[in-house]
């Protein structure tokens, strides 16, 4: 059956790998506040609580330790990353965020910071002047996102493509293709489980022959034959859902093509893909922990 217009259709994509599981536990590492959140000044051990202030949405902070008290409070000790920048290889307070530096990073005055040794400034180690904060792990889990890896990782799986549109003439068929796929994936963001996937596939397709798609021996047609299928495509995944597009080529064996003259031998097709699983199951690569707000 031929269509003159490209139809909208769904293609189910399956993966051989397990679903990714989001771990809501607060662990060591760098986070970003998604909303303003209350935090309490303290020392490096979590003791000597001081005044409460609000952390700001968008701030980067590092979870350094965990502490519990007699009443069952389960808190984290955090350090807000510095509002500094490098100038000619040396770390200096970012003039645009000077007020925030003395609110979230450094407990002394501007003259106190000026008196620090260059090595202390460049290492961002302010000793007794360093500010630390204590905050509930529940608040972090509900109001912050952990910084994840942003490098490339391996993506493997099985792709099933029940429908294809033949670019030669706009025909679309229900030729079922099952292909093993491999490629790379990389995070779309450092703060969520969304990925880009670039994939190559090789597999087998079930090809239906009829008098409209062959040029030879129409009176000797075999209704179904197997073809070698090669495809390449892109898949975007968010959490456990996927969407993508694939381009591919089908090849009957030489003897079958010689016998029937299949019109689509080696001709490109395109297929949309939607699914409910993920390709790959790695951590998306490593990332270096930032030392400042990066502004």
Range 265-294 average pLDDT: 70
pLDDT tens-digit readout, 217-270? 988 888 789 999 999 999 998 876 788 999 999 999 999 999 999 999 999 999
Confidence label for 288 from pLDDT (cuts 50, 70 and 90): low
34: which 2 tokens? Answer: 């998604």
CA 17 – CA 158 distance, rounded (Å): 9
pLDDT value, residue 176: 74
Q: Cβ neighbours of residue 37 under 8 Å, at least 6 residues apart?
A: 54, 55, 135, 139, 140, 143, 144
Of 211, 48, 30, whose CA–CA distance to 132 is shortest? Answer: 48
pLDDT value, residue 158: 84
pLDDT value, residue 163: 86
Cβ count near 169 (within 10 Å): 14
38 alpha carbon, distance to own chain's centre? 29
pTM of the model: 0.59
Sign of CA dihedral 71, 75, 79, 81: negative
pLDDT tens-digit readout, 52-107? 999 999 999 999 999 987 655 789 999 999 999 999 989 999 999 999 999 999 99
CA 226 – CA 72 distance, rounded (Å): 65
pLDDT tens-digit readout, 11-26? 333 332 222 233 348 9
Backbone angles phi, psi at 286, to 5 degrees: -95, 160
Per DSSP, 260 falls in state H
Say which residue the tokens 């707000």 belong to: 293
Whether 55 and 80 have beta carbons less than 8 Å apart is answered as: yes
Range 138-167 average pLDDT: 86
CA 281 – CA 278 distance, rounded (Å): 8
CA 45 – CA 148 distance, rounded (Å): 26
């Amino acid at each position: 059956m031929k269509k003159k217009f490209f139809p909208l259709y769904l293609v189910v994509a399956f993966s051989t790998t397990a679903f990714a599981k989001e771990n809501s536990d607060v662990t060591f590492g760098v986070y970003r506040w998604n909303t303003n959140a209350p935090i309490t000044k303290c020392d490096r051990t979590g003791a000597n609580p001081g005044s409460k202030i609000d952390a700001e949405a968008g701030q980067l902070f590092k979870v350094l330790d965990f502490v519990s008290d007699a009443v069952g409070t389960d808190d984290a000790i955090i350090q807000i990353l510095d509002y500094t920048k490098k100038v000619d290889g040396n770390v200096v307070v970012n003039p645009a965020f000077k007020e925030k530096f003395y609110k979230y990073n450094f407990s002394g005055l501007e003259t106190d910071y000026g008196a620090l040794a260059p090595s202390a400034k460049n290492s961002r180690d302010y000793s007794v002047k360093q500010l630390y904060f204590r905050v509930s792990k529940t608040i972090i889990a509900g109001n912050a996102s952990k910084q994840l890896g942003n490098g490339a990782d391996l993506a493997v799986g099985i792709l099933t493509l029940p429908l294809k549109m033949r670019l030669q003439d706009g025909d679309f068929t229900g030729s079922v293709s099952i292909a093993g796929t491999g490629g790379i994936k990389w995070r779309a963001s450092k703060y969520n489980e969304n990925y880009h996937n670039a994939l190559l596939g090789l597999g087998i397709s079930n090809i239906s022959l009829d008098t409209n798609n062959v040029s030879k021996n129409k009176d000797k047609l075999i209704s179904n034959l197997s073809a070698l299928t090669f495809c390449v495509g892109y898949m975007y995944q968010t959490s456990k859902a996927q969407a993508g597009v694939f381009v591919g080529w089908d090849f009957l064996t030489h003897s079958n093509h010689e016998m029937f003259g299949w019109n689509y031998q080696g001709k490109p097709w395109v297929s949309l893909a939607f699914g409910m699983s993920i390709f790959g199951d790695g951590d998306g690569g490593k990332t270096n922990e930032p030392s400042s707000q990066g502004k």
